Amino acid sequence: MFKFEKTVYKMIRILISVIFIILYSLRIVAQTGTSPAFVMLEEVLVTSADPRFAPLFYSTSESGEGSLAYELIELVKTGKIEVLRSDIVGGWKTSWDYIQHSLGKREKGQHIYGEIIDGKYFSGTLTKDIPYSLKNIQRYKLYYITFHDENYNLLSRDFVGLIPLNQYKQYTRTFYEPIAYFGLKEPMVSAILGKRCLQSSDSSMTYVNFLNHITTEELDPHIHLISLKAAIFLSDKFSFEKTDTTYFSFPEFVNSSACVVMKEISDIEYNDSTYYIYENNFDNISNKFVISQLKARSDANLPFFVGSETFGYIDFFTVSYKSIDQCNNVYKYDPDNFFSHQLDRSEIDISDYLCDTIESFDSCTGAQNPDTVVCTKGGAVLRILELRDGTIVYPIALCIGKTVTDKHFKHVEYKPILWIPLNQQFISILDDYQAYLPGYPQQLTLWGYLLSGMYKGTIISERPIDNAEWQQMLEILR
């Protein structure tokens, strides 16, 4: 009878583990009403030189007043809205002073180099103020969020925002300065874009309708995978409820056959064939987003090493450092007695994590930027510790280390430094970020990714664990 109950207990635990993975991988389905496998951000460039986009550049005056750009920029000038610079997700907020400078405003006494003043190139100190101008807004960068199925077929595309670009010259060189990001999610921006296009032949055509009818495939878009969280930041058309992780718990007891396994994780090779995946930058080659590379799916370990916060992702090393910075308990690396020596802040060798808070100043306006924490990635998640209890695998700790190179920057070895237990505090941090998984039609958080077991690693050690040792570890994992 006891043996039967034990078997049932194991089956229940296996079922619960499967449910975990299903919940984490399908969390987007119920939230959007569709079942997209991938969410992407498209950015395309349109110019005033292309007659197809003339309505976007039409102005009622030579000075640019009455244009779309004029109405949008007036929202910032009058203090009605705050906008971001060119990094549309998590970027710095910009200011009216910065925008004026981007539009060509220069002040008396300011030194300039090779700019056009009164129709001539000029280098030197200005003897008069130069006002800003909207005449040279000749381009827009347009942003769209797209949903795709697991074969990368397009399910939907929605315009979410734009950046006006100001053209300026320094002698023979032409530059395009991004002004600010104006997102459709902002009600006042939405109201302006909901107005009728004055130059459109269709009297009912609004700017939003016009923008949503643009065929982006013909404009060689730059395409990026984007997290659902980032998509929600950009558009109010998407919503989701975060999966609760409080129901997860490690087993109270382990079987006599239980063991702990240490795996070493390897990064994929960075080369021409993996560039698109590694950089999250997919050009629209024959409208297939480099599908052959994405479908190869040889990059299951990418979340450990890659994750651009610009698009809503983060890698395991960065989030591990966030955990350390929030005073989560960490332990000196020991390949046998994993949590035997807890480190205090003074024992953590910060030279392995090159982080500093710096003061910086805007090169255009001279204004001080917000304090910026600069982190040089001197490390990576090198190893993962697992509990194997029957057929169930539980990730229980991550090992942080750094890459050691010679004077020619060639890899010599990995140096393990410390263990971070996967306790509830760390799990909650991991569950706030989405794993970067190009080629895998799943929307997983970093914690869901670990639970899925889809990462690949080389087993470097394996040994039994009894209940007495497990109870000690469990106290740390709670």
Query: What are the pLDDT digits (tens) for 307-316?
Result: 877 788 888 8
Beta-sheet strand order (sheet of 380-389)? 342-343, 330-332, 411-421, 392-405, 380-389, 259-265, 457-464
165-174, 267-276, 371-380: range with lowest mean pLDDT: 371-380
Instruction: Give 61-83 as a DSSP string.
Output: STTSTTSHHHHHHHHHHTTS---
Of 231, 222, 219, 100, the residue nearest 161 (C-alpha): 231
> How far are the Cα atoms of 104, 116, 125, 168, 230 from residue 172, in angstroms, in the given order?
17, 11, 20, 10, 39
pLDDT in tens, 439-452: 777 778 999 999 99
What residue spans define the domains of the chain? 2-27+243-477, 38-234
Cβ neighbours of residue 293 under 8 Å, at least 6 residues apart?
273, 274, 276, 277, 439
Separation between Cα atoms, residue 179 and residue 295, nearest integer Å: 37
Q: Element (H or E) spanning 190, and its range?
A: helix 187-193
pLDDT in tens, 70-104: 999 999 999 999 888 766 765 678 889 989 988 88
pLDDT at 192: 96
Q: Element (H or E) spanning 225, and its range?
A: strand 222-225
Q: CA-CA-CA-CA torsion for 143, 145, 150, 154, nearest 10 degrees?
A: -80
Averaged pLDDT for residues 319-348: 85
Q: Phi/psi class of residue 108: alpha, beta or left (left: φ > 0; alpha: ψ in -120 to 50)?
A: beta
Averaged pLDDT for residues 383-398: 93
- Written as six digits, the tokens of 347 are 């024992």
Separation between Cα atoms, residue 47 and residue 57, nearest integer Å: 9
Taking CA 143 as the corner, what is the angle to CA 139 and CA 146, rounded to the nearest 5 degrees?
Answer: 150
Q: Residue 9 pLDDT > 80, yes or no?
A: no
Q: Residue 345 pLDDT > 60, yes or no?
A: yes
Q: Phi/psi class of residue 467: alpha, beta or left (left: φ > 0; alpha: ψ in -120 to 50)?
A: alpha
Three-state secondary-structure class, residue 435: coil
331-340, 396-405, 427-436: range with lowest mean pLDDT: 396-405
Q: Element (H or E) spanning 156, and its range?
A: strand 154-170
DSSP-assigned beta bridge partners for residue 462: 261
Across the chain, mean pLDDT equals 79
Q: Phi/psi class of residue 232: alpha, beta or left (left: φ > 0; alpha: ψ in -120 to 50)?
A: alpha
pLDDT in tens, 184-212: 999 999 999 999 887 777 778 999 999 99
Cβ neighbours of residue 225 under 8 Å, at least 6 residues apart?
38, 39, 40, 41, 280, 282, 311, 313, 436, 438
Separation between Cα atoms, residue 113 and residue 106, nearest integer Å: 12
Residue 474 is which amino acid? Answer: L
Q: Residue 56 pLDDT > 60, yes or no?
A: yes
